[in-house]
Amino acid sequence: MTIDATVVLDIGKTNAKLTLLDAAGAILAEKRRPNNIVHAGPYPHHDTEGLWDWLQTGLAAFARLAHVTAIVPVTHGATAALVDDAGLVLPILDYESTLPQSLAAEYASLRPAFGDSLSPQLPCGLNLGLQLFWLARTYPQEFARARHILTYPQYWAWRLSGVAASEVTSLGCHTDLWQPQQGAYSSLVETMDWAPLFPPLQAAWTALGPVLPQWRESNGLLPDCQVLCGIHDSNASLLRYLDAQEQAQPRTVLSTGTWAIAAAFGAPLGRLDETADMLANVHALGQPVACMRFMGGREFAVLAGSEPQVCGVDDIARLVSQGTLALPCFAESGGPFVGQAGRIAGPAPRTAQERYALATLYCALMSDYCLDTLDAQGPVTVEGSFTDNPHFAALLAALRPGQEVSVSQDASGTTCGGWMLHRWGQVPAMEATLEPMMEVDGLTAYRAQWRAICRPD
């Protein structure tokens, strides 16, 4: 019997993953590779050709295992491609690049007000509009050749299918390009006359067309293999919860990976503070969701060290008892404390296990801070890489005794979301484990001390 399968191409900021899933959402095979940045050439940019070769090899391998009927791109945000009919007219800029300040004042005069875009001013190239503005001013001849501006999931969909599309979850992801509450392009797009470069809007689950014959034949894919429009990765993690929102049930999804992003359904947009990396993302059905984020995976890696070793509860308790605090922030990009230099107060951790414990405490405290600042109500579900940490959710539950904290049992919320786009209308059973609160003496006072130092005002 031939297996009807879906391939999800999931490109995160740190790693890329290709997953083959059957019609019930079970994983049949998986391939991974680093998402490398190329530092040669005009500016730091994504290794799209390396990813493309890896994708082709993976698709050929998966085609031998199952009948692949759809390929679904899921990627990180703040990234776009400028293409003509032949391909890229410029390399795809890495959003962690520090852009020259020579155009900062002019861009600041053009970007829409936060109340319109709900997109805060962010460091480096995290505002996609700034990237495009800088490229237009710095490389005007190449920019003029572009036929389309494609947000990153749609670039991979276009490369596979030849069909150009735009999609709201990537357009509405701190880009300065979108008005979430109006469902329309921002004043920046109008001012820069970029609207003709954005292809027609399509739903994330739209089948754009079959894989182009030259790629299909070289990989052993069949003619009925469709390429879907695709979606921003954090929004892929939200898909399984959208039905609940039709019943107006407040809840929060904490999507974790390189970024930890708290998406609080039902939280008031009026609480968003553009100085604290608070923003509205736009979910797949086009509605804004109040969010707050920090670079959790990146900061955890800095604190835990190059050879992390899982700690015990006793390691966490010891750090709390002796007042060892990790104070933000340990990444240069984003978060409510961006611009502050991370430091450790109190006795330094002595072992790899204590470093892991400190990283876990830090990420739990930061997540708790974000949830409070958002006024997040209802249950909290942890998705993504932090679900592998045996203590993170239990610590978060201890910090938030008034809310249920559960851990998704999915291997990846983003992969599950990509699968759901192909199986639109099918919602997999919610497999989440309710997390008991960790018992640590002095945790409440430790939390208060951490917050008092982080926010002395």
What is the C-alpha separation between 383 and 374, in angstroms, rounded?
18
Q: Which helix (H) or strand (E) holds 292?
A: strand 288-294
CA 57 remoteness from chain centre: 25
Query: Residue 429 has what pLDDT?
Result: 56
Q: What is the dihedral of CA 178, 198, 125, 291, to 10 degrees?
A: 30
Six-digit token string for 118: 């709900």
Residue 101 — pLDDT band, cuts 50, 70, 90?
Answer: confident
Contact (Cβ atoms closer than 8 angstroms) between residue 201 and residue 165: yes
Residue 379 — pLDDT band, cuts 50, 70, 90?
Answer: very high
What is the C-alpha separation between 203 and 228, in angstroms, rounded?
9
In this predicted model, what pLDDT tens digit does every residue of 208-252 receive, in sequence order? 999 999 999 899 999 999 999 999 998 998 998 887 554 467 899
Six-digit token string for 395: 């610590």
Residue 456 — pLDDT band, cuts 50, 70, 90?
Answer: low
What percent of the chain shows pLDDT beyond 70?
96
In this predicted model, what pLDDT tens digit does every residue of 298-327 receive, in sequence order? 999 999 999 999 999 999 999 999 999 999
pTM passes above 0.85: yes
Report the length, in residues, of the chain. Answer: 457
Query: Residue 424 has what pLDDT?
Result: 83
Supply the angle between the helices 352-374 and 296-304 in degrees, to the nearest 10: 160
- Encode 373-442 in three state secondary structure: HHCCCCCEEEEEHHHHCCCHHHHHHHHCCCCCEEEECCCCHHHHHHHHHHCCCCCCCCCEEECCCCCCCC
Mean pLDDT score, 269-285: 94
Contact (Cβ atoms closer than 8 angstroms) between residue 31 and residue 44: no
β 4-11/67-75 pair status: parallel
Query: Residue 455 has what pLDDT?
Result: 79
- pLDDT tops 70 at residue 427: no
> For 223, which DSSP code?
T
In this predicted model, what pLDDT tens digit does every residue of 7-57 receive, in sequence order? 999 999 999 999 999 999 999 999 999 999 999 999 999 999 999 999 999
- pLDDT tops 70 at residue 430: no
Contact (Cβ atoms closer than 8 angstroms) between residue 282 and residue 180: yes
Contact (Cβ atoms closer than 8 angstroms) between residue 373 and residue 276: yes
φ/ψ region of 279 (left if φ > 0, alpha if ψ in -120 to 50, else beta) reads beta
* Cα distances (angstroms) measured from residue 34 to each of 14, 278, 325, 375: 6, 28, 31, 36
Query: Residue 45 has what pLDDT?
Result: 98
What is the C-alpha separation between 396 and 354, in angstroms, rounded?
18
Residue 396 — pLDDT band, cuts 50, 70, 90?
Answer: very high
Query: Residue 436 has what pLDDT?
Result: 85
For residue 409, count other CB atoms closer than 10 A to its CB: 11
Contact (Cβ atoms closer than 8 angstroms) between residue 204 and residue 229: yes
Residue 1 — pLDDT band, cuts 50, 70, 90?
Answer: very low
Six-digit token string for 393: 């959710």
- pLDDT tops 50 at residue 442: yes
Contact (Cβ atoms closer than 8 angstroms) between residue 399 and residue 447: yes
What is the C-alpha separation between 380 and 396, in angstroms, rounded?
10
Mean pLDDT of the chain: 94
Mean pLDDT score, 80-85: 98
Q: Pick the residue with more confidence: 234 or 158?
A: 158
Query: Residue 278 has what pLDDT?
Result: 96
Ranges 200-204, 278-282, 323-327, 414-418: which has the least confidence: 414-418
Ranges 221-225, 367-371, 443-447, 452-456: which has the least confidence: 452-456
Query: Residue 165 has what pLDDT?
Result: 98
Residue type, 340: Q
Q: Which helix (H) or strand (E) holds 342?
A: none
